Amino acid sequence: MQDRRSLVLVAPAFAWLTAFMVVPCLLILALAFFRRGLYGGIDYEFTFENFAMVLDPLYARIFLKSAWIAGLAALIAAVVGYAAAYAIASMPRHRQPALLFFAILPFWSNYLVRTYAWIVLLNREGLIVGIARALGFSGEMPQMLYTEGAVVLGLVYNYLPFVILAAYAPLSRLNPEISEASRDLGAGRWTTFRRVVLPITLPGVATGFVFVFVLSIGNFVTPALLGGGQFQMIGNLVYDQFLSANDWPFGSALSMVLIAVMLVLLTAQTFANERASTGRQSAEPVDG
């Protein structure tokens, strides 16, 4: 009875998500197996060609580059984010909520605006060049905007709050007595961190890493704005297939590969976290 009533409440949202998320996603899954028509339309003829094309060296290279940039951004964000979360967690308890709030706050401002801020800083007549000149530096400044580094920087900047949030949760739950026990048993500060604190708190930062990677690899705004016109990641490739090249089946195949990468990573990470938490449970009696 209860369940039938709840169905009435759940049904409208369920229907909306089915109509405007599940069905469209299934549609592009199907499109990925069709052939591109002569004039940019779609021939309803089954083929694996689109997926074979993903493996074409030209596109495979873009895939690898996207993975490299996303991986680099995720790694930097994970290290910096973990350090920041660790620093927040070592502040007095009553200060921590406010610090965490202000660390996450930028995440809620407009993504385009946050990216644009870096154009203002990095461009040829930008603030950084201006400051360098004002300090008396007259030589040729290196190109900063429209580089791979600018794209990585933009991604790290945009997603860092996310990692801080993910890394903070396990750090704040960490029982200080565990570290004390380790120190009492003669371990140094660094050994305690490496052998005790890090293994327990790693799942949080791993979650952060996976999310930054997933959000970065499909990103097209940051490469388009900070990487310059020629810079291409998978997101830009998908964008082109739909808005200029008019090859929807190939664009669909690309996004399906993107989804597959994402699912594999999220599943692996959930699995790893579950294993880590069962491992922790068996060690539970230690902190009584």
Residues 235-254 close enough to bind another protein by CB under 8 A: 235, 238-239, 242, 248, 251-252
| Nearer to another protein among residue 30 and residue 185 (C-beta) | 30
Asked whether the beta carbons of 214 and 262 are under 8 A apart, the reply is: yes
For position 127 contacting another protein by CB under 8 A, the verdict is: yes
Asked whether the beta carbons of 221 and 111 are under 8 A apart, the reply is: yes
For position 87 contacting another protein by CB under 8 A, the verdict is: yes
Q: Cα separation of 94 and 199, whole Å?
A: 26
> Looking at 65-73, 173-181, 218-226, 275-283, which segment touches another protein (CB under 8 A)?
218-226
| Nearer to another protein among residue 44 and residue 48 (C-beta) | 44
For position 208 contacting another protein by CB under 8 A, the verdict is: no
Q: Cα separation of 269 and 212, whole Å?
A: 13
For the bound state, the minimum distance from the C-beta of residue 57 to another protein, rounded and expressed in Å, comes to 23
Using CB under 8 A, which of 218, 223, 227, 253 touches another protein?
218
For the bound state, the minimum distance from the C-beta of residue 112 to another protein, rounded and expressed in Å, comes to 5
Q: What are phi and psi of 152, to 5 degrees?
A: -60, -45
**What's the token pair of residue 121?**
């800083």
Cβ burial 58-73 (10 Å sphere, 16+ → b, else e): ebeebbebbbebbbbb
For position 103 contacting another protein by CB under 8 A, the verdict is: yes
> Looking at 45-53, 60-68, 109-117, 195-203, which segment touches another protein (CB under 8 A)?
109-117
**What's the token pair of residue 104?**
């996450």
DSSP structure class, residue 87: H
For position 119 contacting another protein by CB under 8 A, the verdict is: yes
Q: Cα separation of 216 and 159, whole Å?
A: 9
Residues 137-196 close enough to bind another protein by CB under 8 A: 157, 160-161, 164-165, 189
- What residue type is 115 in one-letter code? T
For the bound state, the minimum distance from the C-beta of residue 42 to another protein, rounded and expressed in Å, comes to 9
For the bound state, the minimum distance from the C-beta of residue 249 to another protein, rounded and expressed in Å, comes to 10
Contacts 24+ apart (CB under 8 A), 234-243: 234/62, 234/63, 234/66, 234/258, 235/66, 237/59, 237/62
For position 125 contacting another protein by CB under 8 A, the verdict is: yes
| Nearer to another protein among residue 187 and residue 221 (C-beta) | 221
**What's the token pair of residue 233?**
């990641």
For the bound state, the minimum distance from the C-beta of residue 282 to another protein, rounded and expressed in Å, comes to 26
